[in-house]
Amino acid sequence: MAEVELLSTPHDIQISDVTCDSFRITWEMAHEDTSRVTHYFIDLSRKEGSEHNRFKHRDVPTKLVAKAGPLPMAVRGHWFLSPRTEYCVAVQTAIRQPDGDYQVSEWSQVVEFCTGDYAMEHLQQLLDKAQAAAGRMLRFSVFYRNQSPEYFQYVRLCGGAMLPSFKDNSGSHGSPINEKLRGVFLSCNTEFDTGLPPKDSPYGPLRFQISAEHLLNPSTNLYFADFYCMYTAYHYVVLVLAPAGSEGDSFCQSHLPRLDLSSNPFLTFTSGDAPVFCHASDVILEVLYTEPLLLEHGILAQISGHHQLMSLSTANAKKDPSCKVCNISVGR
């Protein structure tokens, strides 16, 4: 019986054109194998800690079986990839035998890569879903921020300015602003019966309030950044307010959908002798202002309600991946 000529091990694995839910992969193999190989086996899994992925099966296809074709090969839709996630991938080539079995090469070395953020098209899908949930518009007059006494004492020691800090990883994992855009988070939602900010807060007993007109005006730009929930019936919309021409504005222009200040479903400004400011009633707005805020431009006072409602805090909160209202067709 003739000796079977072994297949060379794929090497020099290259990953390119990585998005939040797809990538392209290519590799090198012996020239004589190019015409013999009929299939590619590609094994991919999330990177766990600092260890490389260990494949349970070394000589059979475990994940994706694809007919051999020109490289690089586009991988999209074969796995439900998550954005901003580290993966390990390895390749095996194979020749399909007449009996349906495969002659296979050794697995290639394991290569690691990280998927990207949501692109504009994905954010537009989120925006469309958020718009459907926004509800009617209610008037408001101030933005506000609740924190602990220790926080505001620190602000005073630093010159009286609340300085922008990086957005955490709460909300959609693929939001482009997570850990990349600095800002100061503010709220603007009001109570239905009073039209005023709520008496309670999960963030602290002291509240800084600043006139809506000071931040929301023709010299600022408004962007949509996220839509999510935390296993609850109510949903959050993250917006970014950036003074035109600022560093934050430059980031947002290339990463986020811009909203019309006078006509959008979340947060509006209507100019005139008495400017009118409105917010969406059926979602909780989280507004990230990209510049420092001086305490002297607003007022600081004790809230009259409770401040221990930590279940309502969104700090590093994870999005509910099963919610049909706020999830889109790519990774959460």
Instruction: Indicate which CATH number applies to the domain containing 45.
Output: 2.60.40.10
Q: What is the largest CA-CA distance in the chain?
A: 95
Judge if 292 and 276 occupy the same domain.
Answer: yes
Judge if 45 and 143 occupy the same domain.
Answer: no
- Domain-embedded: residue 325: no
Query: What average pLDDT does this structure show over 142-167?
Result: 95
Ranked by mean pLDDT, the top range of 51-55, 60-64, 193-197, 288-292 is: 288-292
DSSP state of 155: H
pLDDT band at 312 (very low <50, low <70, confident <90, very high): low
Judge if 82 and 124 occupy the same domain.
Answer: no
CA angle (42 as vertex; 37, 48 as ends), nearest 5: 155
CA distances, 171 to each of 28, 225, 235, 328, 332 (Å): 40, 10, 10, 13, 9
pLDDT (tens digit, 9 = 90+) per residue, 160-177? 999 999 999 889 989 999
- Domain-embedded: residue 44: yes
Judge if 74 and 51 occupy the same domain.
Answer: yes
Point out the least confidently predicted range of 4-13, 134-143, 209-218, 308-317.
308-317
- Domain-embedded: residue 319: no
Q: Which of 269, 251, 250 is nearest to 259 (CA)?
A: 269
Judge if 106 and 152 occupy the same domain.
Answer: no
Other Cβ atoms within 10 Å of 186 Cβ, number: 23
Judge if 261 and 146 occupy the same domain.
Answer: yes
- Domain-embedded: residue 312: no
Domains contained in the chain, number: 2
Other Cβ atoms within 10 Å of 289 Cβ, number: 24
What's the pTM?
A: 0.85
pLDDT band at 58 (very low <50, low <70, confident <90, very high): very low
Domain extent for 37 = 11-115
- Domain-embedded: residue 226: yes
Give the pair of three-digit tokens for residue 266.
């979340």
Rounded percentage of the chain residues whose pLDDT exceeds 90: 71
- E strand residue ranges, 195-317: 206-211, 220-228, 235-243, 258-259, 267-270, 276-280, 283-289, 293-294, 299-302
- Domain-embedded: residue 130: yes
- Domain-embedded: residue 311: no
Cα 45 from Cα 57, distance rounded (Å): 13
Judge if 48 and 164 occupy the same domain.
Answer: no
Whether 261 has a pLDDT exceeding 70, the answer reads yes
Q: Last residue of a domain, which of 115, 138, 165?
A: 115
pLDDT band at 55 (very low <50, low <70, confident <90, very high): very low
Point out the least confidently predicted range of 76-85, 164-173, 251-260.
76-85
Judge if 137 and 283 occupy the same domain.
Answer: yes
- Domain-embedded: residue 2: no
